[in-house]
Amino acid sequence: MTSPDTSRGDREKVVSKLPSWLRQELKVRAVQYGLDMQDAVETGITTWRALGSNLTPIDTSGAESFSTFLPADLWNGFRDDCKSRGVSFTQGLAQSVQVWLDNHPAPAIKRPAIVRRIIVCNQKGGVGKTAITAGTGEALAENPAALVPVRVSKHFAALLEDDESNEGNDPLALEDLPGLGQRVLLVDFDPQGHLTKQLGNEPLPMEGDSLTNHMAGDAKGELRDLIVPIDDDRFGDNLRLLPACTDAFLLDVRLASVRAREASLERALSPIESDYDVILVDCPPSLGLSMDAASYYGRRRPQEVPGNSGVLIVVQAEDSSADAYGLLTSQIEDMRSDLALDIDYLGLVVNHYDARRGYIATSSLQSWMDIKDPRVVGVIGDLKEQKEAVRAKRPLLAYAPRCDQSVALRALAREISK
C-alpha cells in the first residue's frame, strides 16, 4: 500500500510489516550512523535487488505494521522483484533491512586511551554527590544497542525564568540516542555507604578486606574480589560497584603514617583500572587526607588529554554551597601548587534545583553559571523519582529511565565526555 507525499519530493509512503525486533535494530543502527530510517531502508532495498537471488528466509511471525517513504520507482521495482522471486513484500522488506544491517555493523564503542577518573566531591554534605555519582555512572554504562531519551539542549540558562538568551531553544527537547556503553566502576569512598545501600548492596564487613586496607598497605586479598555487579539489562555487564566499608572513618588516621599518602588511592585502584573505561569516586564530605588522595587520583597523567579526568563538583542553588565550594577549591588549588599537579575541573553540577523556590534558587543558579571556569555542566531537578529509586534500592535510570532527572543525567554524562 502506498500514498503520495508531496513534502518528500517524489517519495511515496509505503505501508508494510516488519518484525518488531528487526525494526528496533534498524532504528538503533540508523541513529548510530546518523541516518533516517527511510534512507537505510532505501539502501537496503537497492542492495537486495542488486543481489539477484533469494536470501535465507527471515522469521516474520508476529510482524507489525511498518511505514516508510521510498522513491516511487524503487518501490514499484521492488514489488516486481518480490513477485518474480516468489516472496512476500514483508519477507522481501525484512531481507532488505537485514542486508543493510549486515553491511552496517554496530560502530565500536569509543574507549579512552587512559581510564577516566571522575572525582565527585564537595565538602558540604547533603548536596546529592551520591545521586550524581550513581546517575552519571549509569548514564555512561547504558546499553549501546538501545535508544535512550537525552535532553538535547545544553543551554542550562534557559531554566531561569527571566532568561531571554535562549528564546526559540526548547530546553525540554529530547532526542533518542544509543546508550554510551562504557565499562564503569562506581567507588563508594564515603564511610556512610550511601552509594552502596542505594544500589541494593551492603557495606563490606569490618573484619574483612576493604579499600581502606588497600590504601593503608594492609590488603587481605585482591581488590577485584570486592567488586560487585549492578545487575540490570539496561547496563548489561558494564556497571560495577566497589562497596564502602565503615572502616573508612579511620582512613585519615591510618593514612597519616603511610608513605606518599596522597597516592594511596591510586596505588589501590591501579591494578583494576584496565577493566574499566571510567571510574567514578563518590567522595565523603571531608577536606581531610582522603580528599587529598582523591584529588591526586583525578590529576591529569602524562599523555592524558585535558578533561579526560578530573573533579566534578556538586552544589546546590543556595548560599551555603558557595561557602563549601570555596573551601574545596582552596584545597584543590593547594594540591595543584604544592605538588605541581594538573587537576582539571570537569564542571559544576547544580543539584536539587527547583525554580519554584523563588529568588534564592534562581539567583543562586545564575551565580553558579556566571563562574564560567569551572562551568555549569548539569542542572538536575529536585523530583520524586530519585527518592523513590533510593527507597526501592534500584538505579534511578533503571527505575525511571524516562523521568526528567534521568534525561538530565544522560545530558551530563555526554557533556563531560566531549
Span 215-267, pLDDT tens digits: 999 999 999 999 999 999 999 999 999 999 988 888 888 888 888 899 999 99
> What would the mean pLDDT of 204-208 be, rounded to a whole number?
92
At residue 317, the pLDDT reads 83
Residue of higher predicted confidence among 169 and 213: 213
What is the percentage of the chain residues whose pLDDT exceeds 70? 93
Q: Do 282 and 298 meet the contact criterion of CB atoms below 8 Å apart?
A: no
Tens of pLDDT, residues 169-183: 555 568 889 999 999
CA trace torsion 389, 391, 394, 395 (10° rounding): 40
At residue 154, the pLDDT reads 46
Tens of pLDDT, residues 40-49: 999 999 999 9
Rounded distance between C-alpha atoms, residue 281 and residue 131, angstroms: 12
Rounded distance between C-alpha atoms, residue 379 and residue 415, angstroms: 12
Is pLDDT of 2 > 50?
A: no
Q: Do 184 and 277 meet the contact criterion of CB atoms below 8 Å apart?
A: yes
Residue of higher predicted confidence among 350 and 159: 350
Which grid cell is 70? 521510498
CB atoms within 10 A of CB 111: 13
Domain ranges of the chain: 2-103, 116-415
Sheet holding 184-188, edge to edge: 228-229, 239-242, 184-188, 278-282, 116-121, 310-316, 345-353, 376-381
Lowest-confidence segment of 80-84, 287-291, 389-393, 401-405 by average pLDDT: 287-291
Is pLDDT of 168 > 90?
A: no
What's the mean per-residue pLDDT of the chain?
A: 89
> What would the mean pLDDT of 100-110 be, rounded to a whole number?
93
> What would the mean pLDDT of 185-190 be, rounded to a whole number?
96
Is pLDDT of 407 > 70?
A: yes
At residue 171, the pLDDT reads 52
> What would the mean pLDDT of 296-305 be, rounded to a whole number?
96
> What would the mean pLDDT of 365-381 be, rounded to a whole number?
91
Q: Please state the φ and ψ torsions of residue 22, each to the nearest 5 degrees.
A: -75, -35
Amino acid letter for position 264: S
Q: Residue 142, CB half-sphere, CA atoms under 13 Å: how many?
A: 28
CA dist list (Å): 67 to 16, 37, 41, 64, 405:
6, 10, 10, 10, 33
In this prediction, residue 304 has a pLDDT band, given cuts at 50, 70 and 90, of very high
Strand 376-381 to 174-178 pairing:
unpaired
Largest interatomic CA distance in the chain: 83
Is pLDDT of 287 > 90?
A: no
Estimate to the nearest angstrom the gap between the alpha carbon of 416 and the chain centroid.
Answer: 10
At residue 164, the pLDDT reads 46
Estimate to the nearest angstrom the gap between the alpha carbon of 287 and the chain centroid.
Answer: 28
Rounded distance between C-alpha atoms, residue 191 and residue 172, angstroms: 37
Reported CATH class of domain 116-415? alpha beta
Q: Please state the φ and ψ torsions of residue 88, each to the nearest 5 degrees.
A: -75, 165
Rounded distance between C-alpha atoms, residue 357 and residue 228, angstroms: 39
Sheet holding 2-4, edge to edge: 2-4, 11-18, 64-71
Is pLDDT of 87 > 60?
A: yes
> What would the mean pLDDT of 118-133 be, rounded to a whole number?
90
Q: Do 201 and 243 meet the contact criterion of CB atoms below 8 Å apart?
A: yes
At residue 152, the pLDDT reads 61
Is pLDDT of 68 > 50?
A: yes
- Helix, strand, coil shares of the chain as percentages rounded to 5? 45, 20, 35
